[in-house]
Amino acid sequence: MKRLLLFIVLVVVCVTFAAPAFAADPITVTANTFTNNFRRNLLFELEAQSVAKITQIALVIQIDGMVSSGRQIPEFTPGTAVQAKYEWNYSRPGNYLPPGVTGKFWWEIEDEAGNKKQTEKQTFRVEDTAHNWQKLANDQLALYWYVGGDSFGKALFDRAVEAIGYLTQDTGVTVERQVQIFIYGNRTDFRNAIEEGAKEWTGGQAFTDYGIIVINVEPSNLEWGKEATVHELTHQIIHQKISGPLGDLSMPRWMDEGLAMYYQTYPGSLDAQFANPLKRAIQNDTLAPLRTLAGNFPTDSAAAVLAYGQSYSVVDFIFRHYGRAKVAQLLQAFKQGGYYDDLLRAVLGVDTDALENEWRKDVGAKPRAIATRSAATPTRFPTFSLSTDPTLPPGTKPTVTRAPVAAQVTPAPAAPTTAPRAPVTPITQLCCGASAALVLAVLGLGWVWRM
């Protein structure tokens, strides 16, 4: 009996003294929700209580693919029981997030007594719930569509998988993060899903940071849709692999677009809409100097079509003449960074000008007279410089340097790549606008193009 009493006393003592260690958290969260109202807003709501007045609340949002997280301060009335709400409003400039974006969020709460609490990290996903999405996916790619039936989505998916296979086999580039492609089956739906105020001619948008592509492909336009899908997918995969930690990409534009055109086409041949202008330019000796295609593509539609055709042709030539191992090495070299001419010389043994003349010979164009350039002292230019730039002093031959426009200027989680597309032929609608955006970026007009 004595022993039992002693035991009870011990238990009571233990419980009494141990109690503070097991005391309930002074701050308790009674509700913590995320509501997706795509394309109006994303709502983050919190209800919390504490023994003392809650005076500080912050919401941290970390979007997958972004380097930094964003800290938001919601409005709320301080008290021992509070309700806080943060609205990620799509109508605010720079706040657009495409469907498929995922991330984590958590709350940081503090009361007057100095008690602090951080909620568990929760995941969220932006969804366009206006459609009944069908999905086909593997580790590398997820394709979503909702019109055209099984065969339509499968045709796009199969072509994309095939293209990834060629790209991997040729260049050793592998997909590290699954790319998501959303296919909108008509113009109205597409307009309702992309950023409000996007250019009328926009046919697709690519968000390299998030690994997301949004394209308008009507089931009646399947063949174009396959090419457009592969074109944008190639950009995504190459950029994923080649970009620096801040998403900056340094690769001549002719190489970037040439690869996208190459895989969009491979194993077929270049579409007549590009092949014919290219043929004419070869015959009439009106090809653009390759050096000028390292930076901005022309905004004029005929010149843009030729730029795409030429880029394809040069990349095709590199594959045929130097072999795919060299293409793989070249991509690695661009990832390391440096002057384009140095990198080309190190891998292919020729600089831009010499490569251009080899290619011209191969396609049957006249050799181009190229002024000799002092290799010892490459001129450094802070931005894209075109060899035809009339503002340069006579005799100066600029070197096209790394692409500074690719730098991220906004660390906030919301500044997706939005590319207006030029009103030219269908396939160039997807990418041509990139050059327009680049031109604006170079002119400092505030465009951010991170592809």
What is the binding site for Zn ion (CB under 5 A)?
257, 260, 431
Enclosing H/E stretch for 88: strand 79-89
Q: What is the DSSP string of 126-151?
A: ---TTS--EEEE-SSEEEEE-SSHHH
- CA-to-CA distance for 14 and 16, rounded, in angstroms? 5
CB of 206 to Zn ion, least distance (A): 8
CB 231, min distance to Zn ion, A: 6
> What's the min distance (Å) between Cβ of 425 and Zn ion?
13
Taking alpha carbons only, the member of 417, 201, 439 closest to residue 307 is: 439
CA 409 – CA 68 distance, rounded (Å): 12
Shortest Å distance, C-beta 228 to Zn ion? 10
Q: Least distance in Å: CB of 432 to Zn ion?
A: 8
Q: DSSP letters along 349-374, please?
A: S--HHHHHHHHHHHHTPPPPP-----
We find the least distance from the C-beta atom of residue 257 to Zn ion, in angstroms, to be 5
198 vs 419 by CB, closer to Zn ion:
419
Q: Which residue's C-beta sits nearest to Zn ion?
A: 431
Nearer CB in complex with Zn ion: 234/399 = 234
Q: Which of residues 110 and 257 has its CB atom nearest to Zn ion in the complex?
A: 257
Q: Which residue number, 103 or 204, has a Cβ lying nearer to Zn ion? A: 204
Q: Which residues of 293-326 are buried (b: 16+ CB within 10 A; e: fewer)?
A: bbbbbbbeeebbbbbbbbbbbbbbbbbeebeeeb
Smaller CB distance to Zn ion: residue 260 or 437? 260
Please report which helix (H) or strand (E) contains residue 301, including its range.
helix 301-322
Residue entry with tokens 């230019």: 381
Q: Smallest distance from the beta carbon of 149 to Zn ion, in angstroms?
A: 29
Residue closer to Zn ion (CB basis): 185 or 204: 204
The alpha carbon of residue 132 and the mean position of all alpha carbons in its chain are separated, in whole angstroms, by: 25
Least distance in angstroms from the C-beta of 45 to Zn ion? 40
Rg (CA), the chain: 28
**142 or 307: CB nearest Zn ion:** 307
| Smallest distance, Zn ion to C-beta of residue 182, A | 18
Please give the DSSP secondary-structure letter assigned to residue 404. G
Q: Helix, strand, coil: what percent of the chain each, to 5?
A: 40, 20, 40
Judged by beta carbon, residue 257 or residue 271, the one nearer Zn ion is 257
Cα 301 versus chain centre, distance:
24
Contact 22, 64 (CB under 8 A): no
Residue closer to Zn ion by CB (options 329, 429) is: 429
> Rounded distance, CA 217 to CA 232, Å?
13
* Cβ burial, residue 74 (10 Å; 0-12/13-18/19+): middle
